[in-house]
Amino acid sequence: VNQILLLLLVLTVCAILYNKVHQVPSALKNETVDLESPEEMEEVPVVICAAAGRMGAAVAAISSIYSNTEANVLFYIVGLKTTIPHIRKWIENSKLKEIKFKVVEFNPMVLKGKIRQDASRPELLQPLNFVRFYLPLLIQKHEKVIYLDDDIIVQGDIQELYDTKLAPGHAAAFSDDCDLPSTHEMIRSVGMQNTYMGFLDYRKQAIRDLGISPSTCSFNPGVIVANMTEWKHQRITKQLEKWMQRNVEENLYSSTLGGGVATSPMLIVFHGKYSSINPMWHIRHLGWSPDARYSEQFLQEAKLLHWNGRYKPWDYPSVHTDLWENWFIPDPSGKFKLTRPDS
């Protein structure tokens, strides 16, 4: 009997030890699953254009985003066939070589017959200004996308902008031009318009027929959080193209007005049908005057700065260039150079 009891005791001890030994890997495995690796995190797709003559802008924007977030950002860098090798080489031969990115070629032939020639600000007619109209054609695997103009820097975590809530039925979120008191001060100081009157020609019947009050606040499409499903469902691209073609025929808006030829059709198509971006995620008008400035404290609190207007921070004159230059990475090929007073 004693021998039987001893045998049972030995078998019990062995069973306990066996279970403990085989439970350790299982516990470790469960803990590992709970730890989210960067590859398993949701991607934050960010679209930025790299245009000839201003690639340093795209590089600074990308650098600022990458340096200020732990999010799993995937950069879609859009360029023309002739400019793609330059931007790819710049990224791969600088500290940005660690970023996740895809280079996308934009075919300007999609714009044929849709742009009215305008001599007052020819830079606004460059094909890449219209990339934002064609987001679903360029970016196909994401439900939600951020589009950014190249003349921006990001000081906050881009995940916060990506998490912007879009109301049901809204294809995009923008920043209103009537949102911040400091923005109002900047607008007054440089004589800017911040209403539809500054973008559309209300002398034209087609514009009056829209039924939009000329005093309605405009918005700035240089920062967009877009829902691709709604964009496609509402055929936003087709609607934008329709107004581009009407402008060619009827001259409904032009760059001699407040904002350029890419903004006006978006103001028409998205009127009353967009969500709002946190105002601190789009502090703009830094490029409208070489003299007007925001307070340094206000700019330090801002999440995103935008040098929309003629006076760019890589050129001279411009304002608050130190904030932009913090994120600039010199061109390894030496082709792109900053313009400074002593250069």
- Rounded average pLDDT over 275-291: 93
Domain that holds residue 251: 44-326
pLDDT at position 2, please?
58
How open is the CA angle 279-181-313, to the nearest 5 degrees?
Answer: 65
Cβ neighbours for 81, distance < 8 A, ≥ 6 positions apart = 105
Assess if residue 335 is contained within a domain.
Answer: no
Beta strand 172-176 with 100-105: parallel, antiparallel or unpaired?
Answer: unpaired
Cβ neighbours for 251, distance < 8 A, ≥ 6 positions apart = 116, 201, 204
Return the CATH number at 235.
3.90.550.10
Assess if residue 201 is contained within a domain.
Answer: yes
Assess if residue 269 is contained within a domain.
Answer: yes
Q: Is 107 left (phi over 0), alpha (psi -120 to 50) or beta?
A: beta
Examine the pLDDT at 151 and tell me if it is beyond 70: yes
Angle between helix 55-67 and helix 84-92 axes, rounded to 10 deg = 40
- The CA-to-CA distance between both ends of the chain, in Å, stands at 100
Assess if residue 36 is contained within a domain.
Answer: no
- Rounded average pLDDT over 232-247: 97
pLDDT at position 36, please?
43
Query: Which three-class secondary structure string do you get for 190-219?
Result: HCCCCEHHHCCCCCCHHHHCCCCCCCCECE
The pTM (predicted TM-score) of the whole model is 0.86
- 3-class DSSP state of 131: helix
Examine the pLDDT at 20 and tell me if it is beyond 70: no
pLDDT at position 185, please?
65
Assess if residue 260 is contained within a domain.
Answer: yes
- When the pLDDT of each residue in the chain is averaged and rounded to a whole number, the result is 87
- Rounded average pLDDT over 178-186: 67
Write the DSSP string, 150-171. SSEEE-S-HHHHHTPPPPTT--
Q: What is the dihedral of CA 303, 237, 139, 264, to 10 degrees?
A: -30
Tell me the CA distances in angstroms from 3 to 15, 53, 309, one per residue in order.
18, 91, 94
Assess if residue 90 is contained within a domain.
Answer: yes
Examine the pLDDT at 340 and tell me if it is beyond 80: yes
pLDDT at position 11, please?
66
What would the two tokens of residue 205 be?
């019947």
Whole-angstrom Cα distance, residue 33 to residue 172?
34
pLDDT tens, 285-309?
Answer: 899 889 888 999 999 999 999 999 8
Closest CA to 318 of 328, 331, 330, 332: 328
Number of folded domains that form the chain: 1
Assess if residue 220 is contained within a domain.
Answer: yes
Closest CA to 63 of 23, 97, 12: 97
Assess if residue 312 is contained within a domain.
Answer: yes
